[in-house]
């Protein structure tokens, strides 16, 4: 398990869905509320031809269609496997945080969601406190370095554990459920109030 993995928080906060009943926030949602600022950019990474590798792309597509209504989300973009094509636009938006949504193997059950982030202060800017489990780690490193140098944003990886990376397959059921959970989460609106 990578360092920086966050376990269940016994003092879980709640969110109120449209139906009015309170629902406990998942660990990844609590971490977003606790650690991210008010202006977020979400970049979806992946290869839509390789099954669950498209999880990040699906997250960005879903968030881009989501009605904003005061959400902290500034911009969501499906970058496929070329996040470098969007770095100039991100810099112009002046976000507080850039979240790379991606399929990543972090040794959890398929469909698990985890937020990974930077090292404690004093370490190199833009460095993460784990060995990157991203399936796009060679292409992600230059983007992280660029954003650390040119933009005041903090970079994060919102990872979804894949079940399969088979060529020509769609998203597996657990990963499809994780994508829906991320897109439907009220955490994006809560972040605007708490960030």
Q: What is the pLDDT of residue 185?
A: 93
pLDDT at 7: 32
CA distance 21 to 42: 28
The rounded distance, in Å, linking the Cα atoms of 104 and 140 is 12
pLDDT digits 0-9 by tens, 157-167: 999 999 999 89
pTM of the shown model: 0.79
**Winning range, highest mean pLDDT, from 34-43, 92-101, 103-112, 136-145:** 103-112
The answer, yes or no, to whether residue 137 has pLDDT greater than 60, is no
The pLDDT-based confidence of 68 (bands split at 50, 70, 90) is: low
Residue 1: per-residue pLDDT: 32
Domain map of the chain by residue range? Answer: 39-120+127-194
The pLDDT, as a whole number, for residue 128 is 43
More confident residue, 40 or 179: 179
Look at residue 69 and tell me whether its pLDDT is greater than 70.
no
Which DSSP category does 91 fall into?
H
Class of domain 39-120+127-194: alpha beta
pLDDT at residue 149, as a whole number: 79
- What is the rounded distance in angstroms from the CA atom of residue 8 to the CA atom of residue 26? 8
Alpha helix stretches (DSSP H) within the chain:
27-35, 55-65, 87-93, 137-150, 173-184, 187-194
Q: Provide the mean pLDDT of the chain.
A: 78
109-138 CB burial, b ≥16 within 10 A, e <16: ebbbbbbbbbeeeeeeebebebebbbbbee
């Amino acid at each position: 398990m990578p360092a920086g993995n966050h376990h269940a928080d016994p003092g879980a906060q709640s969110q109120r869905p449209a139906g009015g009943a309170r629902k406990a926030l998942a660990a990844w949602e609590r971490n977003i509320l606790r650690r991210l600022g008010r202006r977020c950019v979400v970049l979806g990474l992946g290869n839509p031809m390789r099954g669950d590798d498209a999880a990040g792309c699906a997250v960005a597509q879903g968030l881009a269609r989501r009605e904003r209504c005061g959400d902290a989300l500034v911009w969501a973009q499906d970058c496929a496997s070329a996040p470098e094509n969007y770095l100039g636009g991100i810099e112009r938006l002046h976000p507080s945080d850039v979240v790379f949504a991606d399929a990543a193997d972090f040794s959890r059950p398929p469909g698990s969601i985890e937020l990974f982030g930077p090292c404690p202060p004093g370490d190199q800017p833009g460095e993460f406190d784990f060995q990157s489990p991203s399936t796009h780690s060679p292409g992600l490193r230059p983007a992280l370095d660029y954003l650390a140098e040119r933009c005041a944003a903090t970079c994060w990886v919102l990872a979804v554990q894949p079940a399969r990376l088979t060529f020509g397959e769609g998203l597996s059921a657990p990963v499809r459920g994780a994508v829906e959970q991320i897109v439907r989460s009220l955490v994006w609106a809560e972040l605007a109030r708490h960030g």
